[in-house]
Structures are given as structure tokens and as C-alpha cells.
Amino acid sequence: MQNSISIASYSFHGLLAEGKIDAFGYLESCKYRYDLNTADFWNGLIGTADENYIIKLRQEADARGIEVVNYHVDGVHLWEDDPEARERNYQGAIKHLHLAALLRAKTVRFDTGGGVGPISNEQMDYLATRYQEYARFGEEYGFLVGPENHWGLSLYADTMEKLALAVDHPSYGILLHMGHWEDCSPDDGDRRLARWAVHTHVDANVTRNDLATRMDILLHAGYRGCWGVEHHSAQNEYAEVAYQLAEVRRVLARKLWDIQNRQTQDFAASVKDGNPLLTEEQERG
């Protein structure tokens, strides 16, 4: 999965609303339109929690040599003020954890929920307990699980950092929506959370304006996950996604080239002049 690129299937929600794409068509697009071996599934595109359908989807991904690098689930966020709604979402999350296992997803996202603002002690205790439970499930079935910073409580980097420290589990990780923070600058938020990032979503604004900066922060932190293109406009989606994908490929290739070039230069500087097979005494001989 290191240095791979994916397309979040939410990117095609406009086509989905028009009845022009489904989960199987998305796999075809990833493989043959965009030349990818990854899938980044949104449960809204899949459209069902039927296990037989999920198994068929997994079979078709396997047939195309596609790895499901992420499964991002809406509608089962953790925090609701109403206890009954919290319990309903929890039961839904348990169902989707099993679906993620059937998909053999590598990372899974469940939102924090809540409103934009500082987190309460009650919310922190509940979120940490649930994410620990989900992470233990993920550990058993071979995937990483955690929140994404794109709405609600998760938009505060301070909250996301405290939550990660509270969960403290090797199968917990963050889907980093690059540069998307309410309580600090894009650089500060990404830098603080980079150590827990296991997947990313790169929106059009980042793609156009500061992709190189955002990538530098993660690469400097040793990020080894997938770079997930995500488009939001619901318009001209095939072409807009192609543009974003091409730019992510270009910038990533340049970053990796720069790293390789520096390593080559460092190696060359460490090699002594003269015949590398002879010692200095032999050469003077």
C-alpha cells in the first residue's frame, strides 16, 4: 500500500444520484479508466449492508487485482446527544465492521459525530471506549480503524490528538482529510496528527493550492499509507477526478524522485575517489 493512490468513491456521488454508476462500475473505472489497483469505498455508493452483495463485490475486486485500501462509513458516527441514537449508530457500526472484514479493507473510517467545538469529558470517554473496541476488532481481522477530520468534533486537531492518545491502540489510525481544521492552521493540524495518519483524502482545494506542502508534512513524518483523491462538486466528476488524480501522481512522483536523488547524492559523497576496489595504500603502492 506504500505510496499507492486511490479514489474515494464518494467522488462519484453526483453520478450515483443520476443512476449512472454503482459499486461494480466504480471498480471498472478504477481499474480501466484510471489504471488503479485500489478501491476506496464509501458505503453510500455500495448502497446496501447485504453480506452476499459485499462478498460479490469482494470477488469482483479480487478478479481485477484490486485492494480495498479504505472503507469509509457514513450514518454510524459515534456521538449523538440522544442515548438511543448513539446505541442505534453503535449497532450499525458493528454491522459495518463485519462488512469491512468481508471486503478485506485495510483501513476503516467511522466519524466522531458531535458538533464543531471542544470535546466534553463525557464525549471523550465514550469515543475513546468505542474506538478501542473497534480497534480490537480491526486487529483481529487485519485492518486499522478510526475517525476522519471532516465534520463535527473531529475538526479540532486538539480533540483528535487527545483522542488518539486516549485510545492508544496499534490498530487505531486517522483518515487525514488533509489541511481541514477549525482550531489551527492546516500545517499545524496535519503536522500534529501525521503520526496517526493511516489513509488520506485529498480534496480539490488542496490539489489546486497546496498539495506539495501537505505531502511534505506527511512524508517527513514517515507516512506509508495511500493517497486518496476525493472530489466533492457532484459535477463533471470523471474529468475532475482525472485532473486531481494526475496532479497527485505528478506531485508524489516528484517528491519520491527528490528523495531518491538526495539519497543518491549522499551515497556518491560518501564514496572515496579512485578505485573503489583498492585501499588507499594499495593505490599509492
- Set out the domains of the chain in order of their start, with CATH numbers: 5-267 (3.20.20.150)
- What tens digit of pLDDT does each residue of 107-151 get? 999 999 999 999 999 999 999 999 999 999 999 999 999 999 999
2: which 3 cell numbers? 506504500
- What tens digit of pLDDT does each residue of 233-245 get? 999 999 999 999 9
What value does the mean pLDDT take over residues 209-224?
A: 95
Helices within 142-236 (DSSP H only): 157-167, 186-193, 204-209, 211-220
Record the pTM: 0.89
Among the listed ranges 104-108, 125-129, 264-268, which one has the minimum average pLDDT value? 264-268
